[in-house]
A and B are shown apart, each in its own frame.
Chain A
């Protein structure tokens, strides 16, 4: 057992630090901070600028990808260090849909043409991807999806509706699970994995506003959308296999440990400024205990993640234990957003950034903390709700 940084790791750590310092644009930091504070939507440029910078540097935009596809192929330790440093420096996170989701599916199951067409754009951040999985009638029961793809000559004709498509408003491409065989014995057997250009006629995106007023997710409609058969990944009706691969493949960072750590640090700063009973809130025993409880949970989770990474690097694969990272990681994210909101007392109330108010009120650190709390209720629901994750562990790990 050895968890000390080697000299090489330390060198790598300072290389990352230096790179971020020299290359993370101040304008980007300012732009994102001011929008966050007013609860305003981030632009496509805000979301991809850092990705594009990393994409030009040794494949750092894709820490897990093999070098042969242009990735950085970091060791688990390096990935861990990279995430830590990016979180510490509060870098904008890289959208997962291209890098963590469809990219690995394409280089694992796609053909040479598909790799050549799509991987460079994903790596560079020039092409923006979104995910077409959920449907209005298919949430946790994903395999019940109905969006149909009927082969007609050299095209599939796609009809149906996807929902919760995150950032579809900016997307160039969508990867979709579609039903190609409605008569298959089991619902999982008739599903295929299609790549669809969002500019194809018949694709319509409509925004869904979340309870904090934010616009992250959308409904995506398909009305007789013609998709070339070349855009099918792997074999027809084998899409469920690729979908599962995608869900289990990239779990590094799913727990969000580094970002939650940074968030707790911030809460401590806020609680040192806020007063309660004439003393800084940080001295309040009840509040202190809640912070400590979150820290302990996070420390344990950090080592659970490291154990998973170590197993991963030994070629043992992450497997369904990664559901544990999702459950605990989102539990902590929610606890942390709640603590932050709690810390600012009355200043949880102002809802800025609407058409009715465009000015700051209250302390700088307080803006939009309640928005974030309300927004993060999503975390235990998305990516397979935490109840579904428990079902997965029950079945796959405990054999129930």
Chain B
């Protein structure tokens, strides 16, 4: 049993840490999020040079063959710097789907392009009515000769505005909420029939509403088997959820540490406010929540994710528990910063907003609590055995 990084992981950690330190100080970040584009191409090029864009991809396509633990390292440091470049949508979400489902031809043409930084992708899955249910797909795809014709609407697609390609989930068969009958299509963002309505998010990332009207997609651009995409979507969204949790843990660390420092320095009634026990205990509880969040992330990262029952269980456990930590640590950080907590100018509110939006991403605490409960209390997998196999 050990929770230490391997030599390669330590190098990766140092590399991302230096990137954030050197390129992502507060002023630099403010300039990026205020810009028209909402991201910085130069940073993306650096990701490519550093090899970060290849972390999860198979070595056969030029990647590093990394696992969830490696993605955790990247995302945790990105969280600490509130890095806004679309790494999660491109590399983990879309990249994950292409790796999982792509034909050799598709993989050979797209993955090296992602790794070299030339191509960015987004994944359009949510719809106005679907909330967090990945199986709830109304967007339709109807075959017409050698093409499919897609019609529908996709909500809050992260990173779509900076992407050259969008992967769209559409219904080729079955009822609106049926798991079978969902198919994925890779589409050029500039295609006719595709309209993007771009906007900034409250936490200063970028997302788009995607309107799909008579969009023609060649059969060659179907990703994976027709009607059979659901399992892969669920799996890759689960993997991406762990990545989002990793980002959150990085953010929580900053919130906890910076709030502790702030309380030591802030003087009222002639002394540091950290001398008050009521403040001290709140800070201790923030630390405990942070440690518990980090621990459950480690549980998810080191679990046997190739076993789908185990994967679902640990992902929902982590997302639900970390969601609770986000709320407590985030709200406490604002409260203890007093007036400084609520202003836009000071960093802490930005970390709080990002953490809170990660709380919503891929399903909020209640959503994952329900999924976890369904998995563990209906006899699919016994907590006890599952934990004893995956842990030392």
Contacts from A to B (Cβ < 8 Å): 1-6, 9, 76-77, 80-81, 84, 88, 261, 264-265, 268, 282, 288-289, 291-293, 295-297, 299-304, 306-307, 309-310, 313-314, 321, 324, 327-328, 387, 390-391, 393-394, 397-400
- Interface contact A292-B373, CB-CB below 8 Å: yes
Taking a contact as CB atoms under 8 Å apart, the answer to whether A300 and B376 are in contact is no
Residue of B nearest to A262 (CB): B384
Name which residue of chain A comes closest to B298, CB basis: A303
Q: How far is the CA of A307 from the CA of B293 in the complex (A)?
A: 13
Q: Which A-chain residue is minimally distant from B72 (CB atoms)?
A: A1
Q: Which of A2, A292, A321 has most B Cβ within 10 Å?
A: A292
Contact pick for B1, options A297, A300, A306, CB 8 Å:
A306
B351 within 8 A of A: no
Contacts of B5 in A (CB 8 A): 1
Query: Which 8 residue pairs across A and B have the least CB separation, nearest first?
Result: A303-B295, A394-B280, A300-B292, A300-B296, A3-B302, A304-B295, A390-B284, A296-B321
Would A310 and B1 count as touching, CB distance under 8 A? yes
State whether the Cβ of B307 lies closer than 8 Å to any Cβ in chain A: no
CB-contact partner of A324 in B4, B288, B320, B392, under 8 A: B288
Does B362 reach chain A (CB closer than 8 Å)? no
Given contacts A306-B3, A309-B1, A400-B260, contact A328 B292 (CB under 8 A): yes
User: Cα distance A297–B392 when bound, in Å?
Assistant: 19
Would you call A292 and B292 a contact (CB within 8 A)?
no
How many whole Å from A11's CB to the nearest CB in chain B? 13
Q: Is B291 an interface residue (CB 8 A)?
A: yes
Determine the chain A residues whose CB is within 8 A of the CB of B40 once the complex forms. none
**Distance from B387 Cβ to chain A, minimum over Cβ atoms (Å):** 7
Q: Residue among A81, A300, A301 with the most chain B CB within 10 A?
A: A300
Question: A391's contact among B3, B4, B277, B296, by CB below 8 Å, is which?
Answer: B277
B388 within 8 A of A: yes
A1 to B369 Cα, complex, angstroms: 27
Given A303-B299, A304-B295, CB of A261 within 8 Å of CB of B384: yes
Given A289-B373, A292-B373, A303-B296, CB of A400 within 8 Å of CB of B283: yes
Which of B's residues lie within 8 Å of A, judged by CB? 1-6, 9, 69, 260, 263-264, 274-275, 277, 280-281, 283-285, 287-288, 291-293, 295-296, 298-299, 301-302, 317, 320-321, 324, 369, 372-373, 376-377, 383-384, 387-392
Contacts of B284 in A (CB 8 A): 390, 393-394, 398
Please determine whether A84 and B3 come into contact, CB atoms closer than 8 angstroms. no
**Number of contacts between A and B (CB, 8 Å)?**
149
Complex CA distance for A22 and B378, rounded to whole angstroms:
33
**Distance of A34 Cα from B264 Cα, bound (Å):** 55
Question: When the two chains form the complex, which single residue of B1, B260, B281, B299 contacts A77, counting CB atoms closer than 8 Å?
Answer: B1
CB <8 Å contact, B292 and A304 = yes
Q: Which of A76, A292, A304, A387 is the one whose CB lies under 8 Å from B291? A: A304
Residues of B within 8 Å of A3, CB to CB, are 1, 3, 298, 302, 390-392
Is the pair B391, A302 in contact by a Cβ cutoff of 8 Å? yes
User: Can you list 29 contacts pairing A with B, beta carbon distance less than 8 Å?
Assistant: A1-B298, A1-B301, A1-B302, A4-B392, A77-B392, A80-B391, A84-B388, A88-B384, A261-B384, A265-B383, A288-B377, A289-B373, A292-B372, A292-B377, A295-B317, A295-B372, A295-B376, A296-B320, A299-B317, A300-B296, A302-B295, A303-B299, A390-B284, A391-B280, A393-B288, A397-B287, A398-B280, A400-B274, A400-B275
Q: Could you tell me if B288 and A310 are in contact, using CB atoms closer than 8 angstroms? A: no
Asked if A296 contacts B384 (CB within 8 A), the reply is no
User: What CA separation (Å) do A84 and B285 show in the bound complex?
Assistant: 28
B contact residues around A264 at 8 Å (CB): 383
B1→A76 contact, CB < 8 A:
yes
Pair A300/B392 contact, Cβ less than 8 Å: no
CA distance A296 to B296 in the complex (A): 8
* Set of chain A residues within 8 Å of B280, measured between Cβ atoms: 390-391, 394, 398, 400
Q: Is the CB of A306 within 8 A of B373?
A: no
Q: Which residues of A contact B384 (CB under 8 A)?
A: 88, 261, 265
- Assess the B389–A5 pair: CB atoms within 8 A: yes
Give bound CA distance, A321 to B373, whole Å.
30
Q: A300-B321, A303-B299, A310-B3 given as contacts; is B377 within 8 A of A291 (CB)?
A: yes
Which residue of chain A is the closest to B371 with respect to CB atoms? A292
Q: Complex formed: what's the CA distance from A282 to B378 in Å?
A: 10
Q: How far is the CA of A5 from the CA of B1 in the complex (A)?
A: 8
Please state if B383 and A295 are interface contacts (CB–CB under 8 Å): yes
Q: Are A299 and B321 interface neighbours, CB within 8 A?
A: yes
